[in-house]
Amino acid sequence: MRMRRLMPLLAVVIWSMPLRAQQPLKIAIDVKPGDEKVTLEPEREGMVPILILTSPQFDAATVDPDTVRIGPAGTEASIFRSMLEDVDKDGDIDRMVLVRVRDMQIKCGNKTIRVTGKTVDGRSFEGADSVATEGC
């Protein structure tokens, strides 16, 4: 009998507890892998390769490609194509994505490209790489 009286109270306490948003996992990305100095031309046609690296904390193969967004804010462009391969030759599988330059909405003077998205199990992630703009 006493338990029945406590159940509604317990439900109110649990319901009123604030939910903490889980912080996105920080991941490593590489815009134009292999380039020492990464430059992007905002008005250029074509694609830019961006590497999402696997690490001990993050498996790039678990990325849900439909959720990935790329650009100065990490909300602009969706990916055009996604491939799994060991790009950095470290023995694990990375995810290489191609994105249209114009879709990223780069402006002259942008210094960072951000990648945001979710894994297939719903975990948010984000990463960034430094870039320079040219042809402005």
Give the global pTM. 0.81
Q: Is 112 a domain residue?
A: yes
For residue 43, what are the domain limits? Answer: 22-133
Q: Is 68 a domain residue?
A: yes
Quote the CA–CA distance of 8 and 53 in Å, as a whole number.
48
Q: Is 8 a domain residue?
A: no
**CATH number for the domain that contains residue 79:** 2.60.40
Provide the number of structural domains found in the chain: 1
Q: Is 81 a domain residue?
A: yes
Q: Is 43 a domain residue?
A: yes
> Quick check: helix, strand or coil at residue 100?
strand
Quote the CA–CA distance of 27 and 125 in Å, as a whole number.
7
Is residue 84 within 8 Å of residue 95, measured between CB atoms?
Answer: yes
Q: Is 10 a domain residue?
A: no
The closest of 121, 94, 113 to 22, measured between CA atoms, is 121
Provide the mean pLDDT of the chain. 87
Question: Over the stretch 37-93, which tens digit does the pLDDT of each residue have?
Answer: 999 999 889 999 999 999 999 999 999 999 999 999 999 999 999 999 998 889 999
Quote the CA–CA distance of 83 and 8 in Å, as a whole number.
51
Q: Is 120 a domain residue?
A: yes
Q: Is 17 a domain residue?
A: no
